[in-house]
Amino acid sequence: MPASDRPRPLLWQLAISHYSEKVRWALDHKRVPHRRRTAMPGLHIPIALWRSGGATTTFPILELGDERLADSTAAIAALERRHPERPLYPADPGERRRAIELEEYFDEGLGPAVRLLPLHHLSSDPELLGEFASHAVPPPLSRARPLLAAYARVYSGARFGAADAAAAARAGAEILAAFDRIEAELSAGDGVHLVGGRFSVADLTAAALACLVVLPPGGPLPPDLPLPPALEGFRDQIRRRPAYRWVEDTYRRRRDRAAPTAR
């Protein structure tokens, strides 16, 4: 089949998921024309089971021809094989290993922590939780904010343990540790990139997964989103850190949206 006749890649996503943002960014960086299907949190679970053949209950899922990648890391690896232009993996084998190790570190530590901490603080403020949740659903539903807040509180508590104060404290510590790691890698390199003096999967992953606490312009949530005082207090702790500014700068410099998409 000629390439022009093949169906465009299809990304099953959650609108404000930072793991979905990671794959969106990779597709856009590589300028891969693709389609997107967005589901409401919670309702995405049966879709994920269906599209993955029972392998996962989570998004994103990227469909590339006959491949279905039910993991953001696997999705980027497959994109790199099929679309090697504008590479995200360094050519040097040692630098490639370091970039992939950093991707895994941020995936396993920073990603869950950045999801849990905002949900924990938002769960005690129904009005702000409703505002936050309105960005995760289709426009017709976004006006029902009291209902969205109640749904989001139950869903985030059951799925992520968002009500657990001790878990939220651990999440905050994990975010600080990840910022320490970003700053150490920047200091050891050129001060702009985490590995090898050029943009790689390590930079993309760290910036994308931090977006729910940094709220950079160009991210999935508006930079002026109203937040609870406790969450703003945490952001005040990190706002002057080099890693925080680096996330904002990386979005500004590298978060292009050149890939045509079809809904």
Span 96-127, pLDDT tens digits: 999 999 999 999 999 999 999 999 999 999 99
First and final C-alpha spacing in the chain: 23
pLDDT at 1: 46
Q: What's CA 12's distance to the chain center, in Å? A: 13
Taking CA atoms, 166 is separated from 74, 107, 228, in Å, by: 32, 21, 18
What is the rounded distance in angstroms from the CA atom of residue 124 to the CA atom of residue 231? 11
Please list the residues that pair with 19 across neighbouring strands: none
pLDDT at 92: 98
Is the pLDDT assigned to residue 38 strictly greater than 70?
yes
Task: State the pLDDT confidence band at 263, using cuts at 50, 70 and 90.
Answer: low
pLDDT at 22: 98
pTM confidence score: 0.95
pLDDT at 261: 66
Q: Which residues lie below 8 Å from residue 7, measured CB to CB, with a gap of 6+?
A: 65
pLDDT at 256: 81
Domain ranges of the chain: 3-87, 93-254
Task: State the pLDDT confidence band at 2, using cuts at 50, 70 and 90.
Answer: very low
pLDDT at 138: 86
What is the rounded distance in angstroms from the CA atom of residue 113 to the CA atom of residue 107? 10
Is the pLDDT assigned to residue 50 strictly greater than 90?
yes
Q: What is the pLDDT of residues 198-215, one digit of tens each?
A: 999 999 999 999 999 999
Task: State the pLDDT confidence band at 193, using cuts at 50, 70 and 90.
Answer: very high
> Are the CB atoms for 61 and 72 separated by under 8 Å?
no
Tokens standing for 68? 């279905």
Q: Which fold has domain 3-87?
A: Glutaredoxin (3.40.30)
> Are the CB atoms for 134 and 145 separated by under 8 Å?
yes
What element of type H or E holds 45? Answer: helix 44-51
pLDDT at 7: 84
